[in-house]
Amino acid sequence: MFMVEMAEVLEFERPEDKLLQRLRTTLASYLDQDRVNDCVRAYQFGAVAHSGQRRKTGEAYICHPVAVAISLAEMRMDADGIMAAILHDVIEDTAVTKKELAAQFNPQVAELVDGVTKLTKIGSKSQAETQAENVRKMFLAMGKDLRVIMVKLADRLHNMQTLGAMPADKKRRICRETLDIYAPIANRLGMNSMRHKLEALSFEEMYPRRHAVLNHAVKKARGNRRKIIDTIENSIKNRLHEAGLVGDVAGREKNLYSIYKKMLHKKISLSDVFDVYAFRIFCDNVDTCYRVLGVMHNLYKPIPGRFKDYIALPKANGYQSLHAILMGPYGLPIEIQIRTHEMHRMSESGIAAHWLYKSEDDKSQKFQDRANEWLRDLLEIQKTAGDSLEFIDNLKIDLFPQEVFVFTPKGSIIKLPRGATIIDFAYAVHTDVGNACVSARIDRQLVPLQTKLENGMTIEVIAAVWARPNPLWLSYVATAKARSSIRNYLKHFKQLEAINLGRRLLEKELQALHTQLDSISEQRLKELLKVTDMPSFDVLLEDIGLGNKMPFLIAKRLLQDDIHANIKLDDGDQSHKTPLVIKGTEGMVINLAKCCRPIPGDSIIGFFNPGKGIVVHHHECRNSNIVRKKHTSWLDVEWSHDAAGDFPAELRIEILNQRGALATIASTISELDSNIENVTVVDQDAHVSVDLITLTVKDRVHLAKIMRRLKELSIVIKITRVKA
């Protein structure tokens, strides 16, 4: 009898039983008994599925998912979320399928578990790609249900708490991923408490010596600061009492990882970080927050430019508070944060507040709406990302925003990360606006597209139907959405351009052979695709447009009796002499050579650059003479009569080396509706300066007019156009 009772005691003392009891107690505090029973049933199912499995710590594997469920229960996660937490590893680590879970519980639980499950058979080339693909899948699942990320963050937290048994290299990899992805996600969703725990655990595991040294130094410094903190805290409380305002005052301790980051990035010592004394004041309502701010400004002088109102303009993750830096006693700076109790709860729980406090008020819905808006942007980005690693790069850009707030002409507020430009703003308004953006006005003044935005600016984007994204934009955009949209447009635009150019080139060659593309039978085209080993006619046209296949050779093959036979070219063959008409605005597959800079009105010649399309040269360019000798790689081209745009041309000017000479040249060029793009001094002595000037012109007539006007200037000795 004694042995049986002893066995029962030992059985109850198993770690998993203790954890289950703790989970049941927590759930009973906010769920009805039927839902608690559902969660217990999920535990029993998971315990059987994970039977015989153990963690590296030695405990039964079921302890891990139950610990994850406890974290979520403390956030008052609903029953389906708790069940998904308990079962989150069964698809990945056991024989249980998603279909079985849906049958045993419900489809929602099965979807949540599947969203958290890693991809086990990705076939990736590297560990980085595997991780990236997992994160990408998780975000797709998050788009359907935000509880996926709640479970994943709780899962990551418990894994970080039990890292001790892992090999050192794996520890560092997990910690790096936590700091790069999961802690910033928690921050982006306003879950500051979760973020601080993840950062603290990662810092301690990645840099144990730095953590130990910093921890010891902070504890030592804390004792010396206590008297000053008490003095300031009492002063604040007394002043609030005198003003008849109610507010709880608390000194705020910076966590070790925040201190470490500040020391690292600002290259300052611990004493400099600890020079700032931080306090939080909690109020009952927003009105009191602003009144408390006024009292604080009367108590201690505010430092100009160090005030931020996140109540009127919340951060993207929903964070709200008033921040001010004041000059306190003994000349010490004081950081004050003023917020309501509700704002503080939201700042700690973030998106979790939707479940934790939704019974008390509906304001938590705003947090969920913001999170969903962010996720929608991310899902749009992932659709256009080339691969999972590109998606992760875009995600990291989006996870570390330091916001600026700007306005549309109608007064709507747009939040963008620090360093964002006009292009980022245009894409934030709408992808189509970004794609068609040509210029903009800030506070009614025209500005370049690369202008960086500052708080309070009002931006008006000027768009044009003919406009398209410029590859150069990628060098200065700051947001993931803009970067992804530009890349996606250029990728597909170049493909479409190449197909259209390939069609034009093939039609030109067929017309010279007295036939038309439309008259070629579909069967003949299929035979051609088989011979050329092309999956579709569009792919063949794209290859022609990119210069990988010669159009007149394809045309000859199409028209000869035996499509499989070698192509025979007659000595007198003139098919490729039919000129291709260009406008100069075709874009990325017809390029104007930089060596001779041809402009409308010039005699020109084009040659195929494999993979890139056609490069157009001036007939007198030295490079064109070399290319012309290669019979199969060049073609005659000519300017269209309606060619329009701004084309670069280069002038070599010898001028008297005297004060203001270059300014006179620039002024004259500007008067004739041209812009100078670049000026290079080639040679200079006390009397003469030889300069190369790159300027934009409409055509040969416009350039000739500019050159005539410059020749009339007394300071100009000689002027010639550079044609390589």
pLDDT at 133: 61
Lowest mean pLDDT among 71-85, 229-243, 572-586, 601-615: 572-586
pLDDT at 136: 60
Highest mean pLDDT out of 1-10, 78-87, 258-267, 340-349: 78-87
Domain spans in the chain, listed from the N-terminal domain onward = 15-120+127-191, 222-349, 402-478, 495-565+578-639, 647-721
What's the fold here for domain 647-721? Alpha-Beta Plaits (3.30.70)
Catalytic positions, written as ranges? 92-93
DSSP 3-state of 198: helix
What is the pLDDT of the chain when averaged over all its residues? 79
Q: What is the pLDDT of residues 429-451, one digit of tens each?
A: 888 899 888 888 887 788 888 88
**Backbone phi and psi for residue 604, each to the nearest 5 degrees, phi listed first:** -135, 160
Q: Which residues contact 639 (CB under 8 A, 6 or more apart)?
A: 581, 582, 583, 584, 600, 601, 602, 604
Q: 497, 520, 474, 724: which is closest to 624 by C-alpha?
A: 724
Q: How far is CA 370 from the centre of its chain?
A: 17
pLDDT at 584: 60
Q: How confident is the model at residue 3 (pLDDT cuts 50, 70, 90)?
A: very low
pLDDT at 77: 82
CA–CA distance, 356 with 663 (Å, rounded to integer)? 68
- Domain 15-120+127-191: CATH superfamily is Hypothetical protein af1432 (1.10.3210.10)
In terms of DSSP bridges, do strands 322-327 and 333-340 run parallel, antiparallel, or are they unpaired?
antiparallel
User: Residue 412 pLDDT > 80, yes or no?
Assistant: no
Domains 222-349 and 402-478 belong to one CATH topology: no
pLDDT at 339: 92
Q: What is the pLDDT of residues 248-279, one digit of tens each?
A: 998 876 778 888 888 887 777 777 765 567 89
User: Residue 685 pLDDT > 70, yes or no?
Assistant: yes
pLDDT at 553: 75
Supply the pTM of this predicted model: 0.53
Q: 378, 587, 422: which is closest to 489 by C-alpha?
A: 587
Query: Is-contact 150 194, C-beta < 8 A?
Result: no
pLDDT at 719: 93
Tell me the one-letter amino acid at 444: R
User: Residue 172 pLDDT > 90, yes or no?
Assistant: no
Strand runs (DSSP E) across 268-418, as ranges?
277-283, 301-309, 322-327, 333-340, 403-407, 413-417
**Backbone phi and psi for residue 565, each to the nearest 5 degrees, phi listed first:** -70, 160
Neighbours of 408 (CB within 10 A): 15
Region 215-221: mean pLDDT is: 80
Question: Considering the domain 222-349, what is its CATH architecture?
Answer: 2-Layer Sandwich (3.30)
Q: What is the pLDDT of residues 173-206, one digit of tens each?
A: 888 888 877 887 787 777 778 888 898 898 888 8
Q: 83, 78, 86: which is closest to 19 by C-alpha?
A: 86
Q: For the domain covering 402-478, report its CATH number.
A: 3.10.20.30
Count the residues in the chain. Answer: 724
